[in-house]
Structure 1
Amino acid sequence: MKRREILKSGAAGIIASSSIGADVWRKSAEKMKILVTGAHPDDPETGCGGTIARYSQAGHDVTVLYLTRGEAGIPGTGHEEAAAIRTHEAEAACKILGAKPLFAGQVDGDTMVTNEWNKKIGSIIASEKPDIIFTQWPVDTHRDHRACALMVYDAWLYGGRKQAFYYYEVMTGSQTMNFNPTDYVDISGTIKRKWDACFVHESQKIRETYDQDHGKMEIFRGMEGGYQYAEAFVRLQQSKQGILPA
C-alpha cells in the first residue's frame, strides 16, 4: 500500500470512530445544531471554515459565536470604528459559510475569564442547544484565544458535558502550540468557500499572508489525512462522540 493510501486509511479509521457514517452528511439526515466559538472575527473562519461550510451544506444549523468584535485588530483605528468594520466582515463571512453570527460582548485584547463571564457563555450555549461545540485550542500564544477556550470549556463542563467537544487550531507554530489532532475533515470540496469567507476580512490583510500561514496548514493536514485539503481537530475524550464530515 502506498504511503498516501496508508495515511488516508488511518484517517478514515479515526473519523469513523467519531461518526455514524457518511449518510449523516446527506440533506435527508437528521438536522444537528453546531456551535463554533472563536475569540475574534476570522478565527473560526481560518481555523475551521471548511468544516463549517460542510455542515451548512449538509443542511445543519451552524452558529458562530465571536467572543469579541476585534476592536483592537486594526492598527491606527479606534475601537468603535474597528468593531464596526470587523463586525461587518464577520457577518459577511458567515453568510458565505451559511452560518449565523453571534457576538458575546468582550473586548479584543482585554478579555476576562471570570465567573460572571463563564455563566454568560454558559447561558449562550444553553440557549443555542448545540449537538457539537468547537472552540480554540487552549495552548496558544494569544491571550484572547486562551480566554475563549477556557470559558467555553468551563461552560461545557458545568453545563453537564452534554455535547461533543472539539478544539481547532489557528496558525499552529506561531499561535496554537502542541496541537496533536485526533480527527481530520476533508475540506477539498468546500475550500473555495472557506477562502472566500477568510478573504472577506480585508482589514486583516489575510489574503496577503494566507498561503504562508493557513494555506500551508490546510495542505499539511490534508497530507496527514490523505486528502487534498483538510482541517484537523482534537476531540475532548471526556465528551460524547460527535459526527464529523466523513
Structure 2
Amino acid sequence: MNILAVGAHAGDMDLTAGAVLAQHVLEGHQATLLHLTLGERGHPRMAVPDYAAQKREEAEAFADAIGARARFLDYEDGLLPEDEDVKLRVGDLIRELKPDVLLTHWSASIHKDHARTHRVVEDARFYGGLKTLERDLPAHWAAQLYYADNREDAEGFRPDVFVEIAEEAYEIWSRAITGYAYARGETYGFPYVDYYRALTIVRGAPAGFRRAQAFAAPVGSRDLRVRGSF
C-alpha cells in the first residue's frame, strides 16, 4: 500500500496523520508527505526566509524519522492558490507516486490554506485519474480518500474511520513530531504535541483501541468503519 498525505503547510499532516503513516511504514508500506507550502509565515519572531529554511529542515527530518518521503511545492504560506495550475501539479504527483490512499484536510477550517488544499486535492485526484487528460505520465486513480482529524478543521468534521496505532509507531511519531518548533509550542504557545498525543487515546477508546488516529470519509460514502489499517 502507498499513502500520500497532502498538507497545506509543512507539519499539518505530520501532526494529524503522522502516527498512522509511521504505522504503515512499519508494516512495509510506502508513505509520502506532500507540503504545498512550508508554513513559513507561522512564526511571530522569525524572519520569513529563516523560518522557511527551518520548516523545510523540520519536515525532512520528520519524514526521515518515520521512514517516509517528503515532497514540496513552492507556494507561499497564506497565499496558496486554488487554480488549475496547482491542481494539475498535484494531479501529476499522484500519477508519479501512485498512491492507493490520499489523506488531506477537511473542507472547513479557520485557515484558508487548509480549506483550499481540501478542494485542490479533490480535483487533483480527478485529474490524476482521468485517462483522457494527457499529461507526461499515465493516469492513476487513488482509490481511497480520507480527511485528517485537525482541531483547526473541526467545523462539520465527523470521524468515521479509526486507524489503530501500535505502541512502536506511536513512539516513533511522538519523538519525531517534537522536531517541529511549532508543535513544541514555540510559535504561538499552543501545546500541539500534548494535544495530539492525548487525542490518540481519545480517538482510540471508543473503537476499542489503546491508541488511534481518526479520519472522515468523503460525504456520500460514509459508514462507521473501525479498523487497524486503511
CA displacement at 1:34 relative to structure 2: 1.2
Give the counterpart of 1:158 among 109, 116, 127.
127
User: Do the aligned partners of 1:73 and 1:204 also contact (CA within 8 Å) in 2?
Assistant: no
Is 1:230–2:223 an aligned residue pair? Answer: no
Task: Flag the structure with more relative contact order, 1 or 2, with Cα contacts below 8 A and sequence separation at least 6.
Answer: 1
Residues 180 and 238 of structure 1: CA distance in aligned 2, closer, same or farther (over 3 Å): closer
**In angstroms, what is the RMSD of aligned CA positions?**
2.3
1:218: which partner in 2?
200
CA displacement at 1:152 relative to structure 2: 0.6
The 3-state SS of whatever aligns with 1:219 is helix
Q: How does 1:35-74 map to 2 (within 5 A)?
A: 35-74=4-43
User: Do the aligned partners of 1:54 and 1:187 also contact (CA within 8 Å) in 2?
Assistant: yes
2:184: which partner in 1?
205
Alpha-carbon displacement from aligned partner over 1:118-145 (angstroms, at most 9, x marks no partner): 1111111111111111111111111111
Q: How does 1:128-207 map to 2 (within 5 A)?
A: 128-160=97-129, 162-163=141-142, 164-171=144-151, 174-189=152-167, 190-206=169-185
The 3-state SS of whatever aligns with 1:39 is strand
Alpha-carbon displacement from aligned partner over 1:52-88 (angstroms, at most 9, x marks no partner): 0011111111111011112101112222111100000
CA displacement at 1:188 relative to structure 2: 3.7
Give the counterpart of 1:101 among 70, 76, 87.
70
Letter aligned with residue 229 of structure 2: P
Structure 1, unpaired ranges of 5+: 1-31
Residues 59 and 211 of structure 1: CA distance in aligned 2, closer, same or farther (over 3 Å): closer
Alpha-carbon displacement from aligned partner over 1:189-226 (angstroms, at most 9, x marks no partner): 22111111210102543487136532332221012211
What TM-score comes out, normalization by structure 1 length? 0.78
- In the comparison of the two structures, how many residue pairs are matched? 211
CA displacement at 1:237 relative to structure 2: 6.1
| Worse-matched range after superposition: 85-94 or 113-122 | 113-122
CA distance in 2, matches of 1:204, 1:77: 16
CA displacement at 1:177 relative to structure 2: 2.0
Letter aligned with residue 186 of structure 1: E
CA distance in 1, matches of 2:35, 2:208: 31
Letter aligned with residue 102 of structure 1: R
Q: Could you say which structure has the higher helix fraction?
A: 1
Letter aligned with residue 180 of structure 1: R
2:229: which partner in 1?
245
User: Do the aligned partners of 2:102 and 2:145 also contact (CA within 8 Å) in 1?
Assistant: yes
| Worse-matched range after superposition: 150-159 or 89-98 | 150-159
CA displacement at 1:117 relative to structure 2: 1.2
